[in-house]
């Protein structure tokens, strides 16, 4: 049955290797089980329900990718998108979390249509690298600011907006230890470095009496508080277009980049360098996002951490199915996840930020018409505390700088249209 489903022999793998790869991938991305509920609960969502939604959405998404597209790619609620959901859309813009879920669902539905009618290639090819790397780096800086804020390293200041917090506070010291630890473990290529860091900081906090032990296992928490609570009607407003676009845009490039990057590591590309069954993989990702919104979590997307399992030999969808099973088993460990403090997950946010900003090395820094829009896109996300505003200002800046520099030939119709729409939004809505 497994051979018929996943074509193991054709991919030069076996059941034992695929199971090991599944465990490896799960360990590298299991941190999302505790990080996602912590972030989304800030928006007013029930922690236990989000925990359950995270595990179930990751399981369903990974199952669809494994069984339908037959790729060793696991899915879960994406980092950056969850922060934008809680801090940007709900806290920053004042929308309800129900409306934010509606925006996630709608972006997933549009992603599904783009995948179905093969518009994705045109969109991706139309967006210049300067904006792609700028957006990725900006999301990283956004996560870094949130992580430093959660750890008390960066605090608000009425005179200077922000300032340095108390570095000698126990929470700050534990954060620093956690970040140094995850970096060291990552350098040594230890599987599950992020999760080990979270567990280590939580364990020390527990021994110091900074948090209270509430048990190890229990029945899964109810998903009722968030299930089917999305408000799609509330999203059908022109003022929310940028929010939907931000969810869609980030998910689109994140998924495409992850799929291609993971496929290259596993030699899964065809002789022309293209990804077979790409349409199926993209449709699996978009359906997972819609499903996650229904369950009660932010956009579910493909995880680059899947490359860890691919390095361990995973070559088929069986790897993703194993990850799905492990996420379902995680439902019974809610008490452990609930005691993890913000300063234990903050190092993970800063670590992910480091990875996401590394792409800036690919920018042509000698061309100011490329470098300036990249930097503007990146810095506007943390400085405006909004991924959507960063993307919008980035597109407008790119179009304006190219136009005034006499490089209008480098502006394709997609860039011009998107920049124009954002200008209209700023004039008539913001």
For every residue of 162-184, DSSP letters joined together read EEE--TTSHHHHHHHHHHHHHHH
334 has a pLDDT exceeding 70: yes
Q: Measure CA 292 to chain center.
A: 13
pLDDT tens-place string over residues 41-50: 999 999 999 9
Q: What is the pLDDT of residue 255?
A: 81
pLDDT band at 216 (very low <50, low <70, confident <90, very high): confident
Specify the higher pLDDT residue, 357 or 388. 357
Question: Of 306, 272, 301, 303, whose CA–CA distance to 288 is shortest?
Answer: 301
Least confident of 125-139, 218-232, 282-296: 125-139
pLDDT band at 430 (very low <50, low <70, confident <90, very high): low
420 has a pLDDT exceeding 70: yes
97 is written with which tokens?
């979390």
Secondary structure class of 40 (helix, strand, coil): helix
For residues 426 and 384, the answer to whether their CB atoms sit within 8 Å is no
Q: Which residues contact 185 (CB under 8 A, 6 or more apart)?
A: 193, 196, 197
Helix 170-187 to helix 193-207 angle (10° resolution) is 150
CA distance 183 to 203: 19
Q: What is the end-to-end Cα distance of the chain in Å, rounded?
A: 56
Q: Which residues contact 362 (CB under 8 A, 6 or more apart)?
A: 129, 133
Give the count of beta carbons closer than 10 Å to the beta carbon of residue 233: 9
Q: What is the pLDDT of residue 124?
A: 67
Tally of structural domains, the chain: 1
CA distance 333 to 269: 38
Question: Of 118, 59, 88, whose CA–CA distance to 327 is shortest?
Answer: 59
Q: What is the average pLDDT value for the chain, to the nearest integer?
A: 89
* Residue 37 exposed, middle or buried by CB count within 10 Å (0-12, 13-18, 19+): buried
Q: For residue 366, what are the domain limits?
A: 2-428
* CA distance to 34, 77, 90, 252, 392, per residue, from 39 (Å): 9, 11, 12, 22, 24
CA distance 228 to 230: 6
pLDDT tens-place string over residues 228-262: 999 998 888 777 888 898 898 888 877 877 787 77
The residue with tokens 């030069």 is 12
Question: Of 36, 38, 44, 34, whose CA–CA distance to 82 is shortest?
Answer: 36
- The mean pLDDT value for 121-127 works out to 72
Helix 47-64 to helix 317-329 angle (10° resolution) is 160
Give the count of beta carbons closer than 10 Å to the beta carbon of residue 15: 14
């Amino acid at each position: 049955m497994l051979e018929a489903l996943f074509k193991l022999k054709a991919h030069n793998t076996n059941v034992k290797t695929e199971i090991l790869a599944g465990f490896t991938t799960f360990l590298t991305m299991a941190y999302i089980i505790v990080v996602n509920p912590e972030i989304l609960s800030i928006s007013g969502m029930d922690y236990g329900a989000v925990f359950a939604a995270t595990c179930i959405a990751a399981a369903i998404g990974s199952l669809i990718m494994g069984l339908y597209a037959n790729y060793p790619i696991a899915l879960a609620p994406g980092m950056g998108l969850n922060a934008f959901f809680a801090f940007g859309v709900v806290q920053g813009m004042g929308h309800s979390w129900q409306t934010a879920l509606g925006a996630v669902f709608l972006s997933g539905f549009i992603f599904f249509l783009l995948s179905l009618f093969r518009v994705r290639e045109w969109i991706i090819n139309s967006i210049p690298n300067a904006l792609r790397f700028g957006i990725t780096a900006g999301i990283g800086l956004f996560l870094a600011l949130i992580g430093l804020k959660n750890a008390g390293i960066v605090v608000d200041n009425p005179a200077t907006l922000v300032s340095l917090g108390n570095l000698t506070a126990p929470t700050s010291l534990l954060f620093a230890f956690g970040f140094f630890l995850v970096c060291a473990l990552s350098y040594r290529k230890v599987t599950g470095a992020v999760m080990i860091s979270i567990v280590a900081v939580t364990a020390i906090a527990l021994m110091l009496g900074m948090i209270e032990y509430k048990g190890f296992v229990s029945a899964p928490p109810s998903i009722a508080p968030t299930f089917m609570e999305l408000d799609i009607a509330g999203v059908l407003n022109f003022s929310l277009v940028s929010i939907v676009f931000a969810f869609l845009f980030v998910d689109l490039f994140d998924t495409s980049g992850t799929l291609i990057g993971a496929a290259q590591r596993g030699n899964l590309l065809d002789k022309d360098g293209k990804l077979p069954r790409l349409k199926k993989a993209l449709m699996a990702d978009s359906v997972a996002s819609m499903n996650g919104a229904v369950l009660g979590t932010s956009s579910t997307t493909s995880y680059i951490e899947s490359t860890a399992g691919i390095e361990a030999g995973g070559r088929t969808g069986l790897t993703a199915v194993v990850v799905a099973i492990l996420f379902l088993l995680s439902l019974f460990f809610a008490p452990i996840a609930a005691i993890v403090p913000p300063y234990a997950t903050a190092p993970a946010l800063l670590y992910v930020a480091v990875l996401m900003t590394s792409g800036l090395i690919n920018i042509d820094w000698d061309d100011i018409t490329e470098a300036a829009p990249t930097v503007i896109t990146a810095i506007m996300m943390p400085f405006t505390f909004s991924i959507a505003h960063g993307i919008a200002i980035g597109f407008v800046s790119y179009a304006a700088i190219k136009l005034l520099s006499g490089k209008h030939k480098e502006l394709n119709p997609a860039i011009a249209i998107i920049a124009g729409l954002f200008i209209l939004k700023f004039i008539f809505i913001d």
